[in-house]
């Protein structure tokens, strides 16, 4: 127990003296803490800060965000990626508004029942906002803990992540929120993936990997599957009214976002005409190439300009396009066209 107390005190003292001044650390509002954690999933802090500031200015309360149209939220989220995060968060805050009188539930069972709330989000929000003794285990924490314990288990396995979560909770002090943030801060700033600053580590004396000279070998992660590669032709179809054809996506990856019509590279223009119900000028004008990397796939896109005299309900005036939510991949290609 003395060992655990010393570790906790060293870590918390270091955190209080060295923590970064981040905007979501200046509030006790559970809604804003929750919003920041949703944004920070799989996204760098520097990328998140301007989005977070924009959201809390435009949607200062949970009710403000709950009442916003999904398309507006998707537009505000544009460029942050992983769009299911904002869709799930929108659904969850509406449930909080309707079922919990707009107060983020402090009870773990209630909070974990909300859409999009998994082990990490649940542990982070409950501990930081309510000081619940729950661990928040992200990639930074997995790295820190695997080095501290010289743990060679595969950290991509859920069983290992659950075991590490239990281990953290077994030594969790009453300052649960600060403790979780301290572990994450340590991983983000000191115990980094490459060239960790071990000489500056406040818990160096407790780190088995450092003592044994094995820091660079940890954490162990199984090799990820190679990302699927997809090749598309993307079409900028313009009519005589200076309108461009956009389609609202229905799939799971970018649902609700707008995109230029895209087809597998071997799709003929005749097939495209039939699918869209349009007569198109066949000479293609090449207008740019883009590559975009998603979590599990890579898109390679070749852009072409086509013209039509036809009209269609999906044609949008070019000056209105920037108001619509569009994925970063498609927005980059659209700007090639519009230029």
Give the residue from 24, 81, 31, 33 showing the smallest Cα distance to 53.
24
Nearest alpha-carbon partner for 246 in 189, 314, 312, 146 = 314
Q: How far apart, in Å, do the first and last CA atoms of the chain sit?
A: 65
* Alpha-carbon distances of 77 from 50, 68, 85, 206, 324, rounded to whole Å: 11, 13, 10, 41, 11
| DSSP letter, residue 114 | S
Indicate which residue of 37, 243, 290, 302 is catalytic: 37
| Alpha helices in the chain, H assignment, sequence order | 2-18, 30-40, 45-58, 62-66, 70-77, 84-99, 108-112, 119-130, 139-148, 158-170, 176-189, 208-212, 269-276, 328-338
Give helix 30-40 / helix 84-99 axis angle, nearest 10°: 160
Examine the residue annotation and report whether 37 is marked as an active-site residue of this protein.
Answer: yes
Displacement of CA 94 from its chain's centroid (Å) = 20
Using left for φ > 0, alpha for ψ between -120 and 50, and beta otherwise, residue 213 falls in: left
Residue closest to 141 by CA, chosen among 167, 117, 173? 167
Looking at the annotation, which residues are catalytic? 37
């Amino acid at each position: 127990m003395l060992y655990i107390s010393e570790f906790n005190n060293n870590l918390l003292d270091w955190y209080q003296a060295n923590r970064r001044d981040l905007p979501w650390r200046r509030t006790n509002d559970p809604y804003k803490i929750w919003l920041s954690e949703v944004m920070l999933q799989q996204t760098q802090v520097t990328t998140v800060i301007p989005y977070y500031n924009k959201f809390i200015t435009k949607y200062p309360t949970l009710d403000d965000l709950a009442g916003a149209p999904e398309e507006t939220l998707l537009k505000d989220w544009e460029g942050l990626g992983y769009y299911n995060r904002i869709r799930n968060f929108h659904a969850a805050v509406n449930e909080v508004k309707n079922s919990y009188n707009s107060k983020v539930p402090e009870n773990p069972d209630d909070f974990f029942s909300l859409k999009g709330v998994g082990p990490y989000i649940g542990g982070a929000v409950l501990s930081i906002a309510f000081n619940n003794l729950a661990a928040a285990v992200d990639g930074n924490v997995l790295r820190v803990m695997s080095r501290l314990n010289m743990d060679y288990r595969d950290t991509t396995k859920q069983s290992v992540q659950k075991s590490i979560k239990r281990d953290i909770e077994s030594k969790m002090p009453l300052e649960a929120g600060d403790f979780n943030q301290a572990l994450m801060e340590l991983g983000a700033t000191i115990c980094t993936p490459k060239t960790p600053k071990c000489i500056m580590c406040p818990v160096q004396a407790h780190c088995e990997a450092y003592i044994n000279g094995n820091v660079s070998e940890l954490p162990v992660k199984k090799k990820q599957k190679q990302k699927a590669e997809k090749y598309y032709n993307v079409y900028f179809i313009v009519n005589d009214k200076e309108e461009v054809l956009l389609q609202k996506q229905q799939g799971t990856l970018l649902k609700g976002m707008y995109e230029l019509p895209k087809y597998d590279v071997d799709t003929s223009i005749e097939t495209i005409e039939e699918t869209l119900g349009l007569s198109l000028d066949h000479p293609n004008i090449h207008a740019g190439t883009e590559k975009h990397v998603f979590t599990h796939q890579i898109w390679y896109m070749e852009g072409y300009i086509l013209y039509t005299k036809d009209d269609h309900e999906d044609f949008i005036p070019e000056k209105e396009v920037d108001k619509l939510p569009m994925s970063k991949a498609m927005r980059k290609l659209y700007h090639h066209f519009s230029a």
